[in-house]
């Protein structure tokens, strides 16, 4: 009754193969985009931008990247933190050596640089699989963090080893640096998220995505039917690292403003993005967003409820937050091991039949 494709006839192949075939889905998507682009920038304040929306958008991009690699192509990677560091340092070197360059170009170039680094560290995937590949990418994580700590050229020989984002912008609007407005930063991240999610969705449902999924499901059979494992796995690493590099550049330049590689891009970040992908749902674009919301927004919400509304002491609130998040993660995985996106898919299936169960 609510969610039907009855009576919704498609007259062209393009209409038939669109991402949101049902009208309700399509209109819902347009509504979300309209609110995100036209309403939120005018009502947002600094706190909502820096603590809630911008980190959510940035981590969505990172988890989209890891979902492509781990969810669609089946290559487990624990090097996400290191690749984000590559994106951040690449954007820092570009911003400081080419001061007149547009920030959008800088971010996309950082993604390209990270993609080439990702391809390099993806070469072991041609010989090893599963947990062994996870260990090889773990090596990438530690190696990259050590690299950015060791060679002073990366942080422009500063005494402290920290990198700070200078003020850069596009079309006259400042996007990085302390004087950038919350709306400008938010809109910049939103444009990138929509663009990259569109690219990810279309890559994953096209020929390349199908070859990734073939490698994931049974790589020997895939090789037999003609899927080139070298090209497929390396494109997965390249595209995934591009996304993660863009996320890292945004994390440093737009969100934090100053970063220290050991603390900001440690192994904790690699685990965080992996958990986002697993809890959200492997192999699902919506799942990346759900996982990012779960692990980024829920702690902030809990802290504001416990400290702001209930007035509990801050250390008690911090400890209870860990307990609650851990419990929710366990609950989610026990009830639905395929992630929250699977819960959503099942809900949609049931809604198509509602109120008739058969």
Partner 1 sequence: MKLTKIAAYAVAGAMLASPVMAELVFPSLSYRTGPYAANGTPVADGFADYMTLLNERDGGIGGVMTNVIECETGYSTEKGVECYEATKDEGALIYEPLSTGITYQLIPKTTADDIPMLTTGYGRTSAADGNVFSHTFNFPANYWTGASVGINYLLSENGGSLEGKKIALLYHNSAYGKEPIRTLEALAEKHGFDLTLLPVDHPGQEQKSQWLQIRRERPDYVLMWGWGVMNQVAIQEASNIRFDMNNFIGIWWSGSENDVAPAGDAADGYKALTFHAVGTDFPMFDDMQQYVVDAGLASGTGEHVGTVLYNRGMYGAMLAAEAVKVAQEMHGTADITAGMMRDGLENLVISDETMAAIGLQGFAANFTVTCENHGGPGLGAVQQWDAASQSWSLITDFIAPDMDVIQPLIDADAAAYAAENNIEPQCN
Q: Which residues bind partner 1 (CB under 8 A)?
A: 45-47, 49-51, 55, 96, 149, 158-162, 164, 166-167, 177-179, 255-260, 262-264, 266, 300, 303, 307, 314-315, 317-319
Nearer to partner 1, 300 or 328 (CB): 300
Cα 1 from Cα 10, distance rounded (Å): 20
- Least separation, in Å, of the C-beta of 322 and partner 1? 9
The closest of 87, 276, 56, 81 to 163, measured between CA atoms, is 87
Q: What is the DSSP string of 141-195?
A: HHHHHHHHHH-GGGGTT-SS--EEPPP-EETTEE-SSTT--HHHHHHHHHHHHHH
**Both structure tokens of 323:** 């307990």
Closer Cβ to partner 1, 88 or 236, answer by number: 88
Choice between 300 and 343, CB closer to partner 1: 300
- Give the nearer residue to partner 1 in terms of CB position, either 267 or 329: 267
Compare residues 134 and 264 and give the one whose CB is closer to partner 1. Answer: 264
* Residue 71 DSSP label: I
How many Cα atoms sit within 13 Å of 57 on the Cβ side? 25
At its nearest, how many Å lie between partner 1 and the CB of residue 296? 10
Start-to-end Cα distance in the chain: 13
Q: Which is nearer to partner 1, 213 or 261 (CB)?
A: 261
By beta-carbon proximity to partner 1, the closer residue of 72 and 148 is 148
CB 189 within 8 A of CB 254: yes
Q: Is 64 in a helix, a strand, or coil?
A: helix
Instruction: Write down the least CB distance from residue 214 to partner 1, Å.
Output: 38
Q: Which helix (H) or strand (E) holds 91?
A: helix 80-97
Q: Which residue carries 């005494």 as its tokens?
A: 159
Nearest distance from residue 97's CB to partner 1, in Å? 12
Task: Using alpha carbons, list the distances in angstroms from residue 117 to 41, 166, 244.
Answer: 35, 25, 11
d(CA 190, CA 54): 8
């Amino acid at each position: 009754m609510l969610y039907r494709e009855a009576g919704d006839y498609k007259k062209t192949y393009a209409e038939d193969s669109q991402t949101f075939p049902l009208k309700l889905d399509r209109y819902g998507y347009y509504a979300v985009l309209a609110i995100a682009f036209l309403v939120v920038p005018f009502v947002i304040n600094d706190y909502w931008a820096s603590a809630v929306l911008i980190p959510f958008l940035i981590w969505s991009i990172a988890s989209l990247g890891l979902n492509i690699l781990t969810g669609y192509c089946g290559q487990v990677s624990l090097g996400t933190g290191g690749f984000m560091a590559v994106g951040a340092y690449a954007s820092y070197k570009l911003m400081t050596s080419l001061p007149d360059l547009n920030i959008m170009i800088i971010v996309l170039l950082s993604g390209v640089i990270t993609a080439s680094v990702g391809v390099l560290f993806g070469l072991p995937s041609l010989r090893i699989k599963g947990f062994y590949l996870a260990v090889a990418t773990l090596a990438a994580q530690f190696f990259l963090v050590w690299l950015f700590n060791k060679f002073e050229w990366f942080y422009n020989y500063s005494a402290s080893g920290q990198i700070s984002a200078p003020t850069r912008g596009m079309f006259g609007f400042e996007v990085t640096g302390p004087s950038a407005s919350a709306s400008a930063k938010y809109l910049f991240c939103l444009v990138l998220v929509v663009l990259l999610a569109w690219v990810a969705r279309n890559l994953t449902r096209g020929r390349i995505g199908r070859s990734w999924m073939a490698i994931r499901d049974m790589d020997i059979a895939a090789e037999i039917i003609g899927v080139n494992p070298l090209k497929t796995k390396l494109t997965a690493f390249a595209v995934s690292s591009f996304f993660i590099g863009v996320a890292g550049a945004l994390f440093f330049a737009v969100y934090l403003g100053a970063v220290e590689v050991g603390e900001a891009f440690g192994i904790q970040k690699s685990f965080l993005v992996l958990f986002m992908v697993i809890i959200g749902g492997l192999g699902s674009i919506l799942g990346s967003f759900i996982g990012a919301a779960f692990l980024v927004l829920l702690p902030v919400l809990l802290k504001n409820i416990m400290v702001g509304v209930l007035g509990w002491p801050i250390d008690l609130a911090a400890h209870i937050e860990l307990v609650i998040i851990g419990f929710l993660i366990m609950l989610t995985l026990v009830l639905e091991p395929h992630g929250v996106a699977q819960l959503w898919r099942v809900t949609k299936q049931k809604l198509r039949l509602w109120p008739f169960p058969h």
